[in-house]
Amino acid sequence: MPRLPTDVDVVIVGGGYTGVMAAARLAWHGRAVALLEKNELGSGASSRNGGMVHPGFKLSAATLLRRFGERGRALYQATLDAFALVEQTIATNQIACDYSRSGHLSLAFKPGHRQALDDEAHVLTSEFGVPARVIPRIDLASEVGTSEYHGGLLVERSGGLHPAKYFAGLTGLARDRGAHLFEHAPATAIESRPQGGFLVTTPRGQVRTREVLLATNGYTDGLLPPLQRRVIPIGSYIIATEPLSAGLAVSAIPHRRMLFDTKNFLYYWRLSADNRMLFGGRASFAPTTIAKARDWLYTAMVRVHPQLIGVKVEHAWGGQVGFTFDRMPHIGRMKGVTYALGYCGTGVAMSTYFGQMAADWIAGADLPVPWQRPFPTVPFYRQHPRFLPAVGWYYAALDRL
């Protein structure tokens, strides 16, 4: 097991997309970097997500403009820049991650959801120049083999990739530039030093550093308690079927789009490069097991796609995504410690972007004004989000109504 350095310019806590991209960028800036990961590198969502790369947040572009005006415009534009950064990173560094610009379809779960899709299509095309159009229910069979939905918003500027292969590419980039990445090295304490900088403690020794970046997202713990109070860990689960025949794959998703619906407890699904159906969702806001989530997701998958009845599930897994109370990601500083997290389940592009932005900020650039935002929490939330089962029941009830 390699020894930790005693002195570096920057310690990064968290070995996912954000942390590894930040390590690569900081090394490019000439900084000495030590990244500390509690488990294996990429062991969280960065190697186990659905592989969907697209612009946007949980809040729609229309909602951002309505609530925040020009700041909202800049925030949504950042997601377009984030998507472009992923494509550029893959192309420039020749990362073999099965990337394909496939486009995505947001599917209306209820007839009443159609208006929001119409509004979003108008905003995307007129305000941002992003090609988007609503497909009515009568024509939806050309895009998805199901009768469950009431129309869909098609956005071409998005793509799919193999998340673990993409992560491996970022890891290789960071190491090639000289960043030091350490597995099984949890940070257990961060102390401010009287002469400036920080002392980061791990079971493998202490590291002195000028700067610290926390990039822990859904695995944010008590290392910085005020930050933990602002991040809500929520379980997300995925199943992968056996490879489908070409005919069966085409019957389900004719143009290999990435798909997700407009429920609060949404489903998201796509075909992998080897024709497996990847079908994910949030089975519950309360703790559950992989086995229970697998069965729940299989039932959901065949309800959406009856043609997949009898197809075997070969893999099932889950992990934690980091939600925030305003359903937006956040970058900032607390007690001198930089943080970048809170992707709310839409983080492949934004985590890459935040990693680069955080690195540039630490290296001396200004933090763009739109991201200088309050980071909300709620009273009495400390460590365990005991309110989640009740919130989950409420959102599930809304989906049923």
Domains located in the chain, CATH noted: 1-101+157-231+324-401 (3.50.50.60)
The predicted pLDDT at position 382 comes to 64
pLDDT one-digit tens code per residue, 270-329: 999 999 999 999 755 667 889 999 999 999 999 999 999 999 999 999 988 999 999 999
Please state, in angstroms and rounded to a whole number, the distance separating the CA atoms of residues 11 and 205: 13
Please state, in angstroms and rounded to a whole number, the distance separating the CA atoms of residues 81 and 190: 33
Query: Is the confidence at residue 393, as pLDDT, over 60?
Result: no
Q: What is the pTM of this model?
A: 0.94
Burial category of 178 from C-beta neighbours within 10 Å (exposed 0-12, middle 13-18, buried 19 and up)? middle
**pLDDT band at residue 389, thresholds of 50, 70 and 90?**
low
**pLDDT band at residue 394, thresholds of 50, 70 and 90?**
very low
Cβ-contact 145, 257 below 8 angstroms? no
Rg of the chain (C-alpha set): 21
Tokens of 161: 């990739």
Tokens of 264: 């609060």
Please state, in angstroms and rounded to a whole number, the distance separating the CA atoms of residues 130 and 114: 19
**pLDDT band at residue 379, thresholds of 50, 70 and 90?**
confident
Please state, in angstroms and rounded to a whole number, the distance separating the CA atoms of residues 230 and 359: 22
Tokens of 142: 């050309």
SS3 131: coil
Query: Is the confidence at residue 25, as pLDDT, over 50?
Result: yes
The predicted pLDDT at position 50 comes to 93
SS3 190: strand
Cβ-contact 264, 243 below 8 angstroms? no
The predicted pLDDT at position 64 comes to 96
**pLDDT band at residue 346, thresholds of 50, 70 and 90?**
confident
Query: Is the confidence at residue 175, as pLDDT, over 90?
Result: yes
Residue 381 Cα distances to 148, 188, 215, 226, 388, angstroms: 38, 21, 21, 10, 11
Query: Is the confidence at residue 95, as pLDDT, over 50?
Result: yes
pLDDT one-digit tens code per residue, 315-325: 999 988 999 99
Percent of the chain with pLDDT over 70: 94
SS3 271: strand
Cβ-contact 342, 231 below 8 angstroms? yes
Burial category of 191 from C-beta neighbours within 10 Å (exposed 0-12, middle 13-18, buried 19 and up)? exposed
What is the chain's mean pLDDT, rounded? 93
Query: Is the confidence at residue 30, as pLDDT, over 90?
Result: yes
Average of per-residue pLDDT across 23-43:
97
**pLDDT band at residue 400, thresholds of 50, 70 and 90?**
low
